[in-house]
Structure 1
């Protein structure tokens, strides 16, 4: 499965990063990494880890364990994950740790509509493994070649269509069935149409904060208009219509 916007969060206190380069290479084959953060108490014994992470483009967050029995690193990673989930449109979170404390987080992210991939040791807790959509042994990361074959074998084909292709089919049909005199269709109507035809539809599942963001990402397919709502400066009515090329393909 491929993703549009991936977040990678590493618990450096509980992770062997000997395979860091292979880890990033593998995740990159799954989609575009847009956020890379690592959390740890960067004392002397973690200095080498910090340097390697920074060279790989990670933002390294430092946290002291001020309260006995409480891991500030775990708390900070979880808070950031939830903050990122609600502020932006990401479709996959990668959590790198073997700590079972991240089980509630992985379940929460999954229930919120994002795909969760966990990386950790082979002896990572069963609870954390089951809390992720996928879990992989960080010491046995697939090579680029083997992963390419895996993606080829599991890629959408005659037996499985790309989910976005289905969305576009419904958006195009909605535009045809519900277009107004000016040729445009309300994005609000399109949202209702999608929810009627796709069980549990939400733009977040496909990596978008809302339907408008999705439409705007495909300007080659849709022309978009925005009109201010009288008396509400912060909101607009959004409508769309099919571009000529899309109309032609439908005829």
Structure 2
């Protein structure tokens, strides 16, 4: 049997709270985290509101899971997704889950999966309630996955709040000389805010984001292992002493 490299992931989509138009870009994002061995979309597929999903399901080999709405006002789709997630969790084959929804009802599911030692990647719109975002290891706002250029700034944070977060991350990761490896800074930022993403601020990469901050400076260093490759270090610019 061929060896598969990469974390095995289950992608579970709440079709009532996700847009079919961004699923291709979303699965490309998932591919950066691991291998989507399970791809399921949940909803009442007899309703006209989900008719636009048909081509997306076929194009990306996503299995539609039918769930009738038995009672008005009760979301049977959420229950079906949660039950399947727990079955997959106890199956023991997966390394993580990708939960695609903007619904806070999945907050406890994300927490439960993480309690079992697995990784949770969340995908939802900017309106997603903070408790669900915080329950995930990483949360990607689907607005940045839409085709075209990186979306304009989506974050509600002020520039001062962004600078504060960057300064705190740099201080936490800095070496004695004040310089911090940018990769470590990025990891710190995501650990403290699962929704942190340079694309939320209009930049494709963290390096582009920090270069744009006048209070920070970036140092490009060559690696001893490969002189043709480089890594970035960042630090807060020293404050000017009064004359």
TM-score by length of 2: 0.56
Deviation at 1:106, TM superposition (A): 0.5
CA contact (8 A) 2:41 2:63 kept: yes
- Runs of 4+ in structure 1 off by over 3 angstroms are none
Structure 2: which 5+ runs fail to align? 151-181, 185-243
Equivalent position of 2:83 in the other structure: 79
CA contact (8 A) 2:121 2:138 kept: yes
Which residues of 2 match residues 38-53 of structure 1 at below 5 A? 38-42=41-45, 43-53=47-57
CA contact (8 A) 2:42 2:64 kept: yes
Equivalent position of 2:95 in the other structure: 91
Distance 1:9 1:87 in 2: 15
Equivalent position of 1:63 in the other structure: 67
Distance 1:113 1:93 in 2: 11
Distance 2:54 2:16 in 1: 11
Equivalent position of 2:33 in the other structure: 30
Deviation at 1:69, TM superposition (A): 2.3
CA contact (8 A) 2:20 2:52 kept: no
Whether 1:131 and 2:135 are equivalent positions in the alignment is yes
Distance 1:154 1:93 in 2: 24
Whether 1:108 and 2:112 are equivalent positions in the alignment is yes
1:124–1:77 CA distance, 2 compared to 1 (3 A): same
Deviation at 1:88, TM superposition (A): 3.0
1:3–1:106 CA distance, 2 compared to 1 (3 A): farther
Aligned partner of residue 50 in structure 2, secondary structure: helix
CA contact (8 A) 1:99 1:125 kept: yes
Equivalent position of 2:22 in the other structure: 19
CA contact (8 A) 2:98 2:123 kept: yes
State the superposition RMSD in angstroms: 2.1
Aligned partner of residue 41 in structure 2, secondary structure: strand
Deviation at 1:4, TM superposition (A): 1.6
CA contact (8 A) 1:54 1:60 kept: no
Distance 2:10 2:39 in 1: 6
Distance 1:58 1:154 in 2: 33
Equivalent position of 2:10 in the other structure: 7
TM-score by length of 1: 0.55
Select the structure with the greater relative contact order (CA < 8 A; seq sep ≥ 6): 1
